[in-house]
Structure formats: C-alpha cells, structure tokens
C-alpha cells in the first residue's frame, strides 16, 4: 500500500513528519509520498516557489527509507486537483492500493473538492487528528472503518480515522513567526530551518 500525503508544504514542518511517521507506525504502508501541490485549488498561491518547497521537503525526509518526494503535481500544468493526481498515481502503480493521508481539517473540506466520490473510488482515506479540529464524521459515514487491518479488505473506498498523538505545528503559524523574526525552530527540521535562514525565505 502506498500513502499519498498531499499539501502545500509552505514550509514542511514537524507536524507533517509526525503525521507521516505515525501513519507508517500504525498502518502497513510500504511508502509515504510527500506530494507538494503546484497551484492549490482552495487557497491562495504558495508564499515560496516550487523549487524552494521541494528542496525543503528533500532536506526534511533525507535518510528516511520509506519517505518519498512525489513531484507529479509540480510537473503537471494547471491547478492541482487531487482526483486527477490519484488517477495518474493509480496508472503509475498498477495493482497497488493507494491511501490518501489527510489531516482532519483537510478531510472536513473534502466535499468541496473536485469529484470527492471519485477520489473515494480511487483510494482509501486515512484521516489524522489535528489540534482544535473536530472531525466531521457525517462525511461519507457509510465508508468509515475502525481498524487499519480493514484497509486490506478492499483496494479503495474505506475511511480510517487514525488516533495519532496530536501535533500543534502549522505552516501558517511558522510563516507568521518567521515574518516577525521570532525563531520557530521547534516546529522545523534543523536542515529546513537552516535553508530558510540561508535563502531569506518568508520575510
């Protein structure tokens, strides 16, 4: 099973790394792909360039055997619709089960995404807790499963709410702190923090 973890990663932070590691610890995934979007659909354009966001992900996941950088959305023209991405990933990994990893805030918005039912036909969803977010368990309620083992029963269409330990980091907060020149290193991988400082990002 391949985990797909999409986001703006502007910048990647310890909350992202924590989510990916907890999912790996609790679900039998072979890999987790960090998939930065090129042009987000439901939010403003990223603060930093694709190149900088990619480089920061590379630095943060270096030496992590099961973490991969997936540049599919960066290489595709136009807006980054997850349904198109999942179709491409399915085609690129025939026979593999795809699990889309989402924080609770992202999952709560999924009905506003392009073709949410099709997304569910292409992948399982793994939904992780996030501080100050109440998971909307009315969304696709007939697809929810309780145990990660249930994801092996089919190749798509299950939603697993995962009881991970919560992590408070957020890119918005980090950007605000960096702009105010307040060090926010506890939420950033040291190599990412160094890259941000060296390249004068988020000022």
Site residues (vs ligand ATP, CB under 6 A): 7-10, 15-16, 19, 102-103, 105-106, 128, 130, 167, 169-172
Shortest distance, CB of residue 192 to ligand ATP, whole angstroms?
13
3-state SS track over the chain: CEEEEEECCCCCCHHHHHHHHHHHHHCCCCEEEEEECCCCCCCCCCCCCHHHHHHHHHHHHCCCCCEEECCHHHHCCCCCCHHHHHHHHHHHCCCCCEEEEEEHHHHHCHHHCCCHHHHHHHCEEEEECCCCCCCCCCCCHHHECCCHHHHHHCCCCCEEEECCCCCCCCHHHHHHHHHCCCCCHHHCCHHHHHHHHHCCCCC
Closer to ligand ATP by Cβ: residue 94 or 165: 165
Task: Tell me whether residue 105 or residue 118 sits nearer to ligand ATP (CB atom).
Answer: 105
> Based on CB atoms, which residue is closest to ligand ATP, 115 or 152?
115
Residue facing ligand ATP at closest CB distance: 103
Minimal distance, residue 94 CB to ligand ATP, in Å: 26
Residue 197 Cβ vs ligand ATP, minimum distance, rounded to whole Å: 20
Least distance to ligand ATP from the beta carbon of 102, Å? 4
**For residue 124, how many C-alpha atoms fall within 13 Å in the half-sphere facing its CB?**
29
Which is it for strands 67-69 and 98-103: parallel, antiparallel or unpaired? unpaired
Least gap, CB of 6 to ligand ATP (angstroms): 7
Comparison of 16 and 189: residue with beta carbon closer to ligand ATP: 16
Of 40 and 152, which CB lies nearer to ligand ATP in the complex structure?
A: 40
Of the pair 4, 151, the CB lying nearest ligand ATP is at: 4
Please report how close the Cβ of residue 11 comes to ligand ATP at its closest, in angstroms. 9
Contact present, 182 and 173 (Cβ < 8 Å): no
């Amino acid at each position: 099973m391949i985990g797909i973890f999409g986001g703006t990663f502007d910048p990647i932070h310890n909350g992202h790394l924590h989510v990916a590691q907890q999912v790996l610890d609790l679900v039998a995934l072979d890999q987790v792909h960090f998939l930065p979007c090129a042009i987000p659909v439901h939010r403003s354009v990223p603060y930093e360039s694709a190149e900088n966001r990619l480089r920061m992900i590379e630095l943060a996941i270096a030496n992590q055997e099961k973490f991969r950088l997936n540049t599919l959305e960066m290489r595709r023209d136009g807006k980054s619709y997850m349904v198109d991405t999942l179709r491409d990933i399915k085609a690129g990994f025939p026979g593999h089960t795809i699990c889309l990893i989402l924080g609770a805030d992202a999952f709560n918005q999924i009905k506003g995404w392009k073709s949410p039912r099709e997304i569910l036909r292409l992948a399982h969803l793994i939904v992780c807790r996030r501080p100050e977010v109440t998971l909307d368990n009315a969304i696709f309620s007939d697809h929810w499963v309780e145990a990660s083992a249930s994801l092996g029963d089919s190749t798509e269409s299950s939603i697993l709410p995962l009881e991970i330990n919560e992590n408070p980091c957020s890119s918005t907060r980090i950007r605000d702190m960096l702009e105010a020149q307040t060090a926010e290193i506890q939420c950033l991988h040291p190599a990412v923090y160094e890259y941000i400082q060296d390249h004068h990002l988020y000022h």
